[in-house]
């Protein structure tokens, strides 16, 4: 069912500093910041030859990454995103096995304009998993 690793998302308290670490220290190609109001984050994309790293900074008081940053004040890996061919087939397959889908269970449009879903970390080895229809 799982396809490629689409990205690893890292929550950061300061997006400009995080982007500079990847651009200046690590010599990576880093995009301009993109506001994702529906997801409560501002994001930059770090392009690697085989995948992407997304740096996420909280946007707004109700940002879903705010609590994570309170527990991890210097930042940390927030989720991994795997590609699937058909997100509804994947969702129904996982739900039938007892996995918990976050939110109302319906895909939202992610940062790349494609449908995404998040899965409960307790069902996936302690890691928040995002599925994206490739
Ligand atoms: Co993501």
Q: Which domains does the chain carry?
A: 2-133 (3.10.180.10)
- pLDDT tens figures, 34-58: 999 988 999 999 999 999 999 999 9
Rounded to an integer, what distance in angstroms lies between the CA atom of residue 93 and that of residue 113?
23
Decide if 130 is catalytic.
yes
pLDDT for the residue numbered 33: 98
Whole-model pTM? 0.93
What spacing in Å lies between the alpha carbon of 80 and ligand 1's midpoint?
A: 7
Rounded to an integer, what distance in angstroms lies between the CA atom of residue 90 and that of residue 124?
14
User: For residue 84, what are its two tokens?
Assistant: 């699937």
pLDDT band at 81 (very low <50, low <70, confident <90, very high): very high
pLDDT for the residue numbered 112: 81
What spacing in Å lies between the alpha carbon of 14 and ligand 1's midpoint?
A: 18
User: For residue 100, what are its two tokens?
Assistant: 């918990």
Torsional class of 99: left (φ above 0), alpha (ψ -120 to 50), beta (otherwise): beta
Mean pLDDT of 56-83: 96
Catalytic-labelled residue, pool 54, 57, 83, 130: 130
pLDDT at 104 > cutoff 90: yes
What spacing in Å lies between the alpha carbon of 9 and ligand 1's midpoint?
A: 6
Mean pLDDT of 46-73: 96
What spacing in Å lies between the alpha carbon of 110 and ligand 1's midpoint?
A: 7
pLDDT band at 113 (very low <50, low <70, confident <90, very high): confident
Contacts of 90 (CB under 8 A, 6+ apart): 1, 84, 117, 131
In the chain, the percentage of residues whose pLDDT exceeds 90 is 93
What spacing in Å lies between the alpha carbon of 55 and ligand 1's midpoint?
A: 9
């Amino acid at each position: 069912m799982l396809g490629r690793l689409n990205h690893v998302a890292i929550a950061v308290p300061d997006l400009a500093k995080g982007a500079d670490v990847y651009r200046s220290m690590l010599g990576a190609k880093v995009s301009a910041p993109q506001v994702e109001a529906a997801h409560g984050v501002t994001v930059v994309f770090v392009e690697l030859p085989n995948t992407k790293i997304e740096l996420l900074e909280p946007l707004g008081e109700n940002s879903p990454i705010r609590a994570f940053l309170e527990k991890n004040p210097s930042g940390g890996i927030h989720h991994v995103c795997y590609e699937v061919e058909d997100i509804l087939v994947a969702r129904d397959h996982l739900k039938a096995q007892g996995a918990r889908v976050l939110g109302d269970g319906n895909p939202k449009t992610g940062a790349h304009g494609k449908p995404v879903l998040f899965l409960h970390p307790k069902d996936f080895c302690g890691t928040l998993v995002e599925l994206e229809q490739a």
